[in-house]
Amino acid sequence: MSVTHTRIIATGSYMPEKILTNDDLSKIVDTSDEWITTRTGIQERRIAAEGQATSDLASNAALRALEAAGMKADELDLIIVATVTPDMFFPSTACVVQKKIGATNAVCFDISAACSGFLYALQVARQFIGSGTRKNALVIGAEKLTSLVNWKDRNTCVLFGDGAGAAILKGVNESSTSRMLGSVMGSDGTLADLLKVPGGGSALPITQENAASRPNTIHMEGRETFKHAVTRMCQAAEQALAQSGYTANDVALVIPHQANARIITAIADRLGLPEEKMFMNVQRYGNTSAATIPVALDEAARAGRLKEGDVILLVAFGGGFTWASTVMIW
């Protein structure tokens, strides 16, 4: 079979059982359910169990995707994990997942692009498959973001949660209508300071002196980030649609990065789409960074909201800044 296109053949996701509600948070920091719900749409988020690492969340999501695909782990050619909360600096979380699921024949590495990570990873996998170098790929977005949260900072701790989603990609030939189409990626490192975890790496190692100021937690200029997120996601979505020969009217469902319900509403407004075409689960999980899109994709697929032949638009924005959008025919 001559491979010219790439499609997603199956998805899977895993969310930890433990729920942290807005009311729970209001006992930890000076906040309220009313403030969090009105400003973000978030009602609760999931917290990884004691001892559960990002690779555990990722492996559970991967096994569900493999089951949906009817594939065995040793059939996988490539595993890419998008994460900003790797188990450790190295080995890559993808290598740890490989071991945990028994994907003995896969090449494995991680991608760091914050909340855009899954869409970046999707594009990288697509290049491997399109070039014929690999026949299939497991792409995972997985985060234990609560490991980077400062529970004393109400500006950020209410926003994030843990979870993982996975997709299995395969090469297909011209006869397949289901395929990935236009894709846009962008980055602007000059705005890196607006959203970052400044410490814990080589630039600012954690020391006894600086540990108390928690540099190894998420720092964000919320209002500025919000503006860039809306602008970049709308631009990326429009560009990916134009590349694919479609307009927003053709889209059956948008799966946007889930950071804030107001961001999703703003994108719907600018693209001229009704809200029922915007998939939203931020109310249940908060922002799980690279995991939001694959988790949403899996929930939409399992709920029967993705029908064969549908035009699906994925769009993300995150730290870096980074952004990306992909159009696919389901």
Ligand X SMILES: CC(C)(COP(=O)(O)OP(=O)(O)OC[C@H]1O[C@@H](n2cnc3c(N)ncnc32)[C@H](O)[C@@H]1OP(=O)(O)O)[C@@H](O)C(=O)NCCC(=O)NCCS
Q: Catalytic: 108?
A: no
- Between residue 240 and residue 269, which ones bind ligand X under the rule CB under 6 A? 259-260, 263
Judged by beta carbon, residue 120 or residue 128, the one nearer ligand X is 120
Check residue 31 for interaction with ligand X (CB under 6 A): yes
Nearest to 255 by CA among 205, 201, 305: 305
Check residue 154 for interaction with ligand X (CB under 6 A): yes
Check residue 270 for interaction with ligand X (CB under 6 A): no
Interaction mask 271-290, ligand X, x per CB under 6 A: ----------------x---
Contact assessment for residue 79 and residue 141, using Cβ atoms and an 8 Å cutoff: no
Q: Catalytic: 5?
A: no
Contact assessment for residue 105 and residue 77, using Cβ atoms and an 8 Å cutoff: yes
Check residue 35 for interaction with ligand X (CB under 6 A): yes
Q: Catalytic: 228?
A: no
Judged by beta carbon, residue 197 or residue 311, the one nearer ligand X is 197
Write the DSSP symbol of residue 48: P
Check residue 322 for interaction with ligand X (CB under 6 A): no
Task: Please report, for residues 142, 213, 251, 298, the alpha-carbon distance to residue 268 in angstroms, rounded to integers and kept in the order given.
Answer: 26, 38, 12, 21
Judged by beta carbon, residue 136 or residue 156, the one nearer ligand X is 156
Check residue 22 for interaction with ligand X (CB under 6 A): no
Rounded to an integer, what distance in angstroms lies between the CA atom of residue 36 and that of residue 25?
10
Residue from 212, 223, 303, 308 touching ligand X (CB under 6 A): that is 223
**Smallest distance from the beta carbon of 186 to ligand X, in angstroms?**
14
- Between residue 109 and residue 138, which ones bind ligand X under the rule CB under 6 A? 115
Check residue 39 for interaction with ligand X (CB under 6 A): yes
What is the per-residue burial (b if ≥16 Cβ within 10 Å, else e) of 256-269? bbbbbbebbebbbe
Check residue 200 for interaction with ligand X (CB under 6 A): no
Contact assessment for residue 117 and residue 290, using Cβ atoms and an 8 Å cutoff: yes
Question: Residue 19: what are its φ and ψ, rounded to 5°?
Answer: -105, 135
Stretch that binds ligand X, among 1-9, 120-128, 179-187, 216-224 (CB under 6 A): 216-224
- Beta-carbon contacts of residue 211 (< 8 Å; ≥ 6 apart): none
**Smallest distance from the beta carbon of 115 to ligand X, in angstroms?**
4
Catalytic residue among 60, 95, 157, 257: 257
Judged by beta carbon, residue 181 or residue 264, the one nearer ligand X is 264
Rounded to an integer, what distance in angstroms lies between the CA atom of residue 102 and that of residue 282?
32
Check residue 317 for interaction with ligand X (CB under 6 A): yes
Amino acid (1-letter code) at residue 192: A
Nearest to 52 by CA among 43, 61, 42, 65: 61
Rounded to an integer, what distance in angstroms lies between the CA atom of residue 185 and that of residue 183?
7
Question: Residue 83: what are its φ and ψ, rounded to 5°?
Answer: -160, 150
Check residue 27 for interaction with ligand X (CB under 6 A): no
The radius of gyration of the chain's CA atoms, rounded to the nearest angstrom, is 19
Catalytic sites, residue numbers: 115, 257, 287
Binding region for ligand X (CB under 6 A): 31, 35-36, 39-40, 115, 154-155, 158, 220, 222-223, 225-226, 229, 259-260, 263, 287, 317-318
